[in-house]
Structures are given as structure tokens and as C-alpha cells.
């Protein structure tokens, strides 16, 4: 019997906790928080300890599947790839590249292999129909960052470990463990904030766990944060509380003018927050020795998502809190170059065919994917690839999308489950369990609240292609090289060209070096790691392949099994900001142009009517952890929260059925009467609805819950980012059978 403990990063959520995994005879015995991890210091949530169960889940897909006569049958990799090639090629030949679409799901952001493989795949497909979970999530933040800071990836994070005042809107990190702000143990960090005399203010229509531990909870009407943030700004200007010690900016006067009409009295009816409370909140923010404003899902997935994102960062700037300790700071990932260079941020370089919605970051709003599949005509989507995504549960107007997926000529999924989305596929290629993959957080080290990095090797081997190789094989097929091209050869060719451009780039630390010499040094690693090593060694702390003998390499990172903590974030304005002016652009033209729409919403607001918001719970993760028994047993969690007064008025009883109807569809949920939700608001968690036929989710299907995205509408979107509206959905609520 051999017993050993390995260490790795939990890939499930953005907190990136360190795990200590004890194995006995190559089976997972127990998973604990890694106490020697300098970032997470032993913190773990109930999900992190289930990686072994996920790995061992008998329902998990381990071999390629091909649908034959309506049934999935196991196939070899070469059969599966040949089938994809045989069916994709005529579609592209006859209907053009736009006839294929790609949907990129959330787990691709958790790691580096898929991340690296997908971009070339999208390029090889050559379609404008690229979609991802970003437009049901954080796209507004990319757009505000792109315009204000010069690059959509330059996202400031709240320095919660040092701040004196955190104003947190539309986020519930005690359940979600944080987002676009990577840190393990938010509860501990927020308790420490309060213990050192800092103040936590939470703005949320629900009294969440995070709100319950706050100094102050402001219940806001869903969808109205942008107007409230403008009111805070209005007060700061009105009371001369704008600091003189801010980072270099353009557009301060334009912002002052833009706030006119958003005084706290005018917005109070719309936001549900009275004018005096708003004034006090603005004064508190300005008076704090350091402060940060942070908004997340509840501010992004709404009709004014980009304006709210913008408002958050304008507040951080004009209170003097951008880019300073205790404020909102710019992280820098180990693999990133120190100095951000970028072309001017542009959107709308192409548009969607049916609704003519503009592109952002090379992708189209996923809210319109079903339109592109269902609407006939040149450019109609006939083939869809999904990689680690479950849009049937996670994107708006789900009934319609489900119908669209059922009618595709070809659908190919790379996934670990036969679920609500992949049941529509013709070919499923197995993804790998977390323990079969090496790990480095390409995305989350760039959003981390400390300068921290970690690399973990795979724990287990597997048969067949790795997930990275599977996506590279699809790239070969999309590029017309057929199903038999060797993924290793294709990836190596991509690496060679990347090294060649690095040595030709005057700004690269390896400019002028021999490409062959660099490639030889990289060759000690498996192929995906070679890309990572190249980035790290040419990155901000890299050794430049010998130029700085003390610099970082993947080898040095890998030698630190608990990761390396390089310290707290540092101010880095000049390197982070890549606008043409070198200043923060406080008043981007498209944002000013969107303000009349907000002013009109404020003006037209009428009280009454119910609206729906979402929620997340600790033991769940988006749509795909419900097949893990230990996480779903116990109290039923997919319930409709509604306020006792609303329940009484509507005749709904606790635990009874409740019918919820919107423009898009209707569901019958189980009611949970609770005063944690404000009057006029109901809340359903998302990611449920596991009762579709043809799935293989033996645990999840026993407690299916309902799919809240049957209720969300595909038509309203945040026009500046294309983000779907998932919160603040007008609904009718009533006893089942008589709404």
C-alpha cells in the first residue's frame, strides 16, 4: 500500500484554493485545504473536497461517443474524429465558414490547456459565430476596462486585505467565493477588514450571507445600480468631495455633466434607496482613508451592465482609490509582460446576421445564438461545437435554445457529462477530469488579490487524447487537414511560430535570440507546458531564457508545490494603462451616449410588479456539480425565494408550488418564503433543471430543480457589451394553476 499526498490548485471556482490530496494506491482518499499554501492557508469549501468524487463519477464520459440511430455508442478517437470531419466538411463547403459556430464554456477559463488550444481552433473555424459564457457574465467589465484603461483585460480588483471601506454591489462572495477578484476565504478576509476597523457595505436586493455580515446592507431594486452609482458621483461633485489626488485622467468635466439629472432624489424611486442614505454612502466612501467599490454578477448581468461597470471604476478614480493599496489595483500575472501594450479598444468590427448585434472581443452575444440557428438564410448556423459549456441551462430563453440545438445538422461537444446540452450532440469527445490535467491559472492569476502563482502536474494518467490534444485535433479538422493530422505535430508547429514571432519582436526579452535555441530549452516539457514556460520566461518576472539568471521559469514554479506568493499588489499605473493618452479615459463617448437610456428608465419607472433575480449557493457551481451526491443531499436548494408579504398577497405557501411566468416562458418551482429577499423580488438559483430526457446524470436527475433561464429573455441585452440580462426579469408569480 502506498500512501502519498500531492498538492494542487482547485479548478472549480475563481478562489484558486490550494488542495492537499491524499492518495492511497492511486485512489483519492481525502482532500483537505493545503495549510502550507501561502495564499489559501488551508481554506477549502465543500466543493474542493469533491474532486475525487468527480473523477470517479460513473456517469462521467471517458470515451468518445457517437450518436447512431438516436443512441450514443462508444467509439474510438479516430472513429469520432473521422465522423466529425465527414460531416463538417460538406457543411462548410456548401454553406461557408459562418455555418459553424463555437460556444466556449466557463471551465475553459480554469486552467491553461483549453485556454491555449481554443483560440487557434476558433481561428481555424474562420466563423464569426463565436460565443462564450462571457456574454452571460462579465462582458460589461471588459468593455468598461477597454475604453477606460485601454485593454479589456485590464481589470482592477478590490484590495480587500488592506482597504478601510469596501462598497460591494451585486456579489455574494460568501457563497461564490468571489469573482473577478481572486482570493481564497472571503469570509476570513472580510472579517479581518472589519476587525481592523474597516467598513463593509453590501448593496443587494437580497440579504445574502455577505450582506448579513456587513456593517450596512442596502436593498436595491434589481437593475438600478448604474443609476445609484451615478447618484453617488452626483453627491461627490455636489459636495466637493472629488479628490485632487487621483491618477491622471481625461474627461472629469464630462463626467460631472453626465451626472446631472441623477441626483439622489430623482433616482430614489428607481433604486429603492432613499436620498439621505445615498448621500451618506457617498460621504462615507469619500471620507475613508482608503476605499474600493466592487461590483459583480448583479451589476453586470443587467440592462445597464456596462454603465454600472463604468460607474464603479469612475468612483474608484475620483475618490483617489485607483491603483493604490487599499483601493482598486491592477494585478499582474506571472506569465504576463510587465508592460501592457495594446491596440485601441474597438468593438463592432462585425455584426450578428439576424439581430445585427455588434461583436465584442471577437465574439457575439450568446443571447442571439438560437436566432442564428433557427433563422433560415445564407449564413445560418448549421453546425455547433460546444467546449465545456452547458448553454441549454446557462443562457437566456432556454426553451428556444433547446429547440434550436435539437435541429442542428451537426453538433460536437467536448465535455465530461452527457447533460442538457450535450444530449443534443452527434459526437461527444471526453474532456478530462481535473485530476488528469496539469493546472496553472492563466486567467485568475491576472485577477488575483495577491501576486501569487502555482503550477500543478496531473495526478492521474488517462487513455486516449488529452483535452488539449482533442481541441488541437478539432483545429486540424477545421483547417481542412483531415481527422488524422497528429495533434502533437500541429501544436509544435504553432509553438514554433510563436517563438519565431517572439524573437522577432523588439519588445520581447528574447528579441534577437535563435528560435531553435529557445525551442530546445522548452522541449523538456510536454507540449501545452511549453507554451506556458515561454510565457513565464518572457513574462514580468521571467528569466528571459538566461538573461536574468534569478528570473522565473516554469521549472522554478513547479519546484514550489504550494505555489509562490510574491506579495501584495503594487501600484503600477504607467505599465497597466494602455490608452493612447496614457491616462484613464473617464468619459468614453459610447458610455455618455448610453446615459439617456438610463435617464429614461429612471423617469419611466413605476412601482409594482414582480421581478426575478438569481442566486448562487456554496455547494453548487454553475450547472454542473449537481451530480455529486454529497453536494446535493439535504435541504432542497432550487427554491423560489419570495418575501412573506408577497407570499401572503399571492396566496403562495412555503414549500408549496409556485408558478413563475415571464415573456420568455414559465416554470413551476417550490416556494421558500423568506424575508431575506426584498418585497417585489423573487429569486431562483441558476444551473438547475436536470429533468431533460436523454441525459446521463443519475444523481442530478433525482433532484432536478427548474431551469431559471427558461424565464430569462433573449431580447433585452446590455447594448454596450451584448451581455444578456439575467437579473431584474419582469415576472408574474402565482399559485400553480392560477397565476
Ligand X SMILES: Nc1nc2c(c(=O)[nH]1)N[C@H]1C(S)=C(S)[C@@H](COP(=O)(O)OP(=O)(O)OC[C@H]3O[C@@H](n4cnc5c(=O)[nH]c(N)nc54)[C@H](O)[C@@H]3O)O[C@H]1N2
- Minimum distance between the CB of residue 299 and ligand X, rounded to whole angstroms? 6
- Minimum distance between the CB of residue 175 and ligand SF4, rounded to whole angstroms? 10
Site mask for ligand X (CB under 6 A), range 343-362, x = bound:
--------------------
- Minimum distance between the CB of residue 62 and ligand X, rounded to whole angstroms? 12
Give whichever of 44 and 491 is closer to ligand SF4, judged by the CB atom.
Answer: 44
Joined together, the cell numbers standing for residue 151 give: 485593454
Give whichever of 290 and 723 is closer to ligand X, judged by the CB atom.
Answer: 723
Among 415, 469, 529, 646, binds ligand X (CB under 6 A): 415
Joined together, the cell numbers standing for residue 530 give: 511549453
- Minimum distance between the CB of residue 618 and ligand SF4, rounded to whole angstroms? 8
Q: Can residue 601 be called a binding residue for ligand X (CB under 6 A)?
A: no
**Do residues 335 and 162 lie in contact, with contact meaning Cβ atoms separated by under 8 Å?**
no
Nearest to 241 by CA among 178, 315, 171, 311: 315
Q: Can residue 418 be called a binding residue for ligand SF4 (CB under 6 A)?
A: no
β-pairing verdict for 410-415 and 165-169:
unpaired
DSSP run (H or E) holding 585? strand 584-585
Q: How far is CA 587 from CA 140, 249, 572, in A?
A: 15, 9, 22
Q: Can residue 390 be called a binding residue for ligand X (CB under 6 A)?
A: yes
Give whichever of 45 and 219 is closer to ligand SF4, judged by the CB atom.
Answer: 45
Q: Can residue 709 be called a binding residue for ligand X (CB under 6 A)?
A: yes
DSSP run (H or E) holding 130? strand 130-132
Among 266, 352, 708, 723, binds ligand X (CB under 6 A): 708
**Do residues 271 and 169 lie in contact, with contact meaning Cβ atoms separated by under 8 Å?**
no
Distance separating the N- and C-terminal Cα atoms of the chain: 62
Q: Can residue 225 be called a binding residue for ligand X (CB under 6 A)?
A: yes
**Do residues 292 and 320 lie in contact, with contact meaning Cβ atoms separated by under 8 Å?**
no
Side-chain-side CA neighbours of residue 734 (13 Å): 9
Give whichever of 258 and 302 is closer to ligand X, judged by the CB atom.
Answer: 302
Among 137, 159, 529, 713, binds ligand X (CB under 6 A): 137
Residues 395-414 binding ligand X (CB under 6 A) are: 414
- Minimum distance between the CB of residue 552 and ligand X, rounded to whole angstroms? 27
DSSP state of 366: G
Give whichever of 277 and 571 is closer to ligand X, judged by the CB atom.
Answer: 277
Q: Can residue 313 be called a binding residue for Mo ion (CB under 5 A)?
A: no
List the single partner that 44 binds among ligand X, Mo ion, ligand SF4, none, CB under 5 to 8 Å by kind: ligand SF4
- Minimum distance between the CB of residue 328 and ligand X, rounded to whole angstroms? 16
Residues 6+ apart with CB under 8 A from 392: 398, 401, 402, 405, 419, 420, 421, 424, 692
Residue count of the chain, please give it. 739
Give the separation between CA 428 and CA 390, rounded to whole angstroms. Answer: 13
Task: Quickly count: other Cβ atoms within 10 Å of residue 508's Cβ.
Answer: 16
Place of cell 408574474: 732
Among 14, 83, 85, 137, binds Mo ion (CB under 5 A): 137
Q: Can residue 510 be called a binding residue for ligand SF4 (CB under 6 A)?
A: no
Residues 55-114 binding ligand X (CB under 6 A) are: 105-107
Joined together, the cell numbers standing for residue 232 give: 453617488
Q: Can residue 16 be called a binding residue for ligand SF4 (CB under 6 A)?
A: yes
Residue 405 burial (10 A CB sphere; 0-12, 13-18, 19+): buried
- Minimum distance between the CB of residue 103 and ligand SF4, rounded to whole angstroms? 23
Place of cell 472579517: 191
| Residue ranges in 509-612 assigned as alpha helix (H) | 515-522, 527-537, 554-558, 573-576, 589-604
Among 8, 17, 121, 545, binds ligand SF4 (CB under 6 A): 17
Give whichever of 158 and 389 is closer to Mo ion, judged by the CB atom.
Answer: 389
Interface contacts to ligand X, rule CB under 6 A: 13-14, 105-107, 133, 136-137, 169-173, 175-177, 179, 203-206, 208, 220, 222-223, 225, 296-299, 301-302, 388-391, 394, 414-417, 419, 421, 431, 467, 613-618, 620-624, 686-687, 708-709, 712, 726-728
Interface contacts to ligand SF4, rule CB under 6 A: 10, 12-13, 15-17, 44-45, 47-48, 177, 184
Amino acid at each position: 500500500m502506498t500512501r502519498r499526498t500531492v498538492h494542487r490548485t482547485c479548478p472549480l471556482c475563481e478562489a484558486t484554493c490550494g488542495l492537499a490530496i491524499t492518495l492511497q494506491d492511486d485512489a483519492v482518499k481525502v482532500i483537505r485545504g493545503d495549510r502550507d499554501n501561502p495564499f489559501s492557508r488551508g481554506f477549502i469549501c465543500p466543493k474542493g473536497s469533491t474532486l475525487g468524487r468527480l473523477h470517479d463519477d460513473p456517469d462521467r464520459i471517458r470515451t468518445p461517443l457517437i450518436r447512431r440511430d438516436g443512441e450514443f455508442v462508444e467509439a474510438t478517437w479516430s472513429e469520432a474524429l473521422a465522423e466529425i470531419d465527414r460531416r463538417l466538411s460538406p457543411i462548410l463547403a456548401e454553406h461557408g465558414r459562418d455555418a459553424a459556430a463555437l460556444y466556449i464554456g466557463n471551465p475553459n477559463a480554469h486552467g491553461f490547456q483549453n485556454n491555449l488550444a481554443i483560440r487557434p481552433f476558433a481561428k481555424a473555424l474562420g466563423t464569426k459565430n463565436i460565443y462564450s459564457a462571457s456574454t452571460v457574465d462579465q462582458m460589461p467589465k471588459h468593455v468598461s476596462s477597454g475604453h477606460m484603461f485601454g485593454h479589456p483585460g485590464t481589470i482592477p480588483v478590490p484590495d480587500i486585505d488592506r482597504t478601510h471601506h469596501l462598497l460591494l454591489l451585486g456579489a455574494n462572495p460568501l457563497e461564490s467565493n468571489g469573482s473577478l477578484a481572486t482570493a481564497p476565504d472571503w469570509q476570513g478576509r472580510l472579517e479581518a477588514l472589519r476587525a481592523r476597523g474597516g467598513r463593509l457595505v453590501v448593496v443587494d436586493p437580497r440579504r445574502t450571507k455577505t450582506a448579513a455580515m456587513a456593517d450596512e446592507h442596502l436593498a436595491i431594486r434589481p437593475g438600478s445600480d448604474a443609476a445609484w452609482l451615478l447618484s453617488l458621483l452626483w453627491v461627490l461633485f455636489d459636495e466637493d468631495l472629488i479628490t485632487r489626488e487621483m491618477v491622471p485622467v481625461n474627461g472629469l468635466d464630462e463626467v460631472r455633466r453626465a451626472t446631472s439629472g441623477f441626483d439622489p432624489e430623482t433616482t430614489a424611486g428607481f433604486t429603492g434607496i432613499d436620498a439621505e442614505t445615498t448621500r451618506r454612502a457617498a460621504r462615507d466612501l469619500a471620507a475613508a482613508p482608503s476605499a474600493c467599490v466592487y461590483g459583480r454578477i448583479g451589476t453586470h448581468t443587467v440592462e445597464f451592465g456596462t454603465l454600472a461597470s463604468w460607474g464603479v471604476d469612475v468612483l474608484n478614480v475620483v475618490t483617489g482609490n485607483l491603483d493604490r493599496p487599499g483601493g482598486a489595483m491592477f494585478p499582474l500575472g506571472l506569465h504576463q509582460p510587465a508592460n501592457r501594450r495594446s491596440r485601441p479598444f474597438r468593438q463592432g468590427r462585425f455584426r450578428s446576421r439576424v439581430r445585427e448585434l455588434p461583436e465584442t472581443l471577437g465574439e457575439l452575444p450568446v443571447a442571439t445564438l438560437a436566432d442564428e440557428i433557427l433563422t433560415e438564410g445564407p449564413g445560418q448556423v448549421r453546425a455547433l461545437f460546444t467546449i465545456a459549456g452547458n448553454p441549454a441551462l446557462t443562457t437566456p430563453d432556454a426553451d428556444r435554445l433547446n429547440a434550436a440545438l435539437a435541429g442542428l445538422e451537426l453538433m460536437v461537444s467536448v465535455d465530461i457529462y452527457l447533460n442538457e446540452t450535450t444530449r443534443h450532440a452527434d459526437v461527444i469527445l471526453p474532456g478530462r477530469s481535473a485530476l488528469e490535467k496539469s493546472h496553472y491559472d492563466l486567467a485568475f492569476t491576472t485577477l488575483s488579490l495577491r501576486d501569487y502563482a502555482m503550477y500543478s502536474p496531473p495526478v492521474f494518467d488517462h487513455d486516449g487524447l488529452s483535452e488539449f490534444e482533442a481541441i488541437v485535433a478539432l483545429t486540424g479538422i477545421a483547417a481542412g487537414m483531415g481527422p488524422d493530422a497528429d495533434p502533437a505535430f500541429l501544436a509544435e508547429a504553432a509553438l514554433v511560430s510563436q517563438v519565431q514571432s517572439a524573437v522577432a519582436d523588439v519588445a520581447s526579452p528574447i528579441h534577437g535570440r535563435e528560435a531553435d535555441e529557445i525551442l530546445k530549452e522548452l522541449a523538456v516539457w510536454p507540449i501545452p507546458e511549453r507554451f506556458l514556460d515561454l510565457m513565464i520566461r518572457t513574462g514580468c518576472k521571467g528569466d528571459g531564457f538566461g538573461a536574468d539568471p534569478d528570473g522565473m521559469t516554469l521549472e522554478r514554479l513547479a519546484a514550489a508545490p504550494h505555489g509562490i506568493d510574491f506579495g501584495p499588489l503594487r501600484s503600477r499605473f504607467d505599465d497597466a494603462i494602455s490608452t493612447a493618452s496614457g491616462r484613464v479615459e473617464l468619459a468614453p463617448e459610447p458610455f455618455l451616449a448610453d446615459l439617456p437610456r438610463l435617464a429614461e428608465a429612471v423617469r419611466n419607472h413605476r412601482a409594482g410588479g414582480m421581478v426575478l433575480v438569481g442566486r448562487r449557493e456554496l455547494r453548487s457551481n454553475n450547472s454542473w456539480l449537481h451530480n455529486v451526491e454529497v453536494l446535493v443531499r439535504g435541504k432542497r436548494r432550487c427554491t423560489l425565494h419570495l418575501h412573506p408579504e408577497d407570499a401572503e398577497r399571492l396566496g403562495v405557501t412555503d414549500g408549496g408550488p409556485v408558478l413563475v411566468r415571464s415573456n420568455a416562458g414559465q416554470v413551476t418551482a417550490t416556494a421558500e418564503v423568506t424575508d431575506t429577499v426584498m418585497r417585489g423580488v423573487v429569486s431562483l438559483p441558476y444551473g438547475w433543471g436536470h429533468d431533460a430526457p436523454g441525459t446521463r446524470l443519475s444523481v442530478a436527475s433525482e433532484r432536478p430543480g427548474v431551469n431559471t433561464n427558461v424565464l430569462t429573455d433573449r431580447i433585452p441585452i446590455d447594448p454596450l457589451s451584448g451581455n444578456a440580462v439575467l437579473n431584474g426579469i419582469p415576472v408574474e408569480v402565482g399559485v400553480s394553476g392560477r397565476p
